[in-house]
Amino acid sequence: MHRSARLVTAIIVIFLVTTTFVFSAIAGGSIARAQEGSTEVTVRARLTGWVARRDGYHLYPEDATVRSSVVVWPNLHGETMRARLEWRRAGSRWDLLDVSSTRLNLDSRGLFLVRGLPAGYSFRIRVRVAPGNGHPAGRSRWGYFRVV
C-alpha cells in the first residue's frame, strides 16, 4: 500500500427519521413486527468531485479528495457497508489497495473519502453490504477513476 494512500470513511448526517408501525387487529391494536422477506438489496455508489471523464475513468487532480457517496435500498440503517479500493498500472492486473467500512445512517446513506493517491495509476472502488437481518447481500458497480 502506498504510504500516503488512505481510505477514510464518514457518515452523512441527515435528520430524517421514518418510523413505521404495523398494527395488528388482533389483541386490540397491539404492535406486530413485520417480517422482512428476501428482497433484493440495491447499492448505488456515485463518484463526486471529479473534473473530467476520459475513457470511462473519472479524472481527479493531484491532492484532490475522491468522494464515493452511497445509497442503499431498502433502508438498512445501522448495517455495515464495506468499500474495496484497488489500483493498477497500465497493462497490469488489479491489486488490493485498501478496505474500509462504516455504518449506514438513518437515511441508509454513507460516504467514503479517498485521499493521498499517487498520480499515474488507475483506481477502482466498489461498495458491498453483507447479508444479514433477513436481507441478502448487495454490491455496487465498480467506480473507475484516475489521479492526473
pTM: 0.72
The grid coordinates listed for 21 are: 408501525
> Does residue 90 contact residue 123 with C-beta atoms inside 8 Å?
no
- Predicted confidence (pLDDT) per residue in 6-36, tens digit: 555 433 322 222 222 222 232 333 232 333 4
Query: Residue 130 is placed in which grid cell?
Result: 453483507
Identity of residue 133: N
Measure Cα distances from 70 to 46, 58, 113 in Å. Answer: 6, 17, 11
What digits encode the pLDDT tens for the residues 57-98?
Answer: 999 999 899 999 999 999 999 999 999 999 999 889 999 999
Three cell numbers, residue 3:
504510504
Taking phi over 0 as left and psi of -120 to 50 as alpha, with beta for the rest, 29 belongs to left
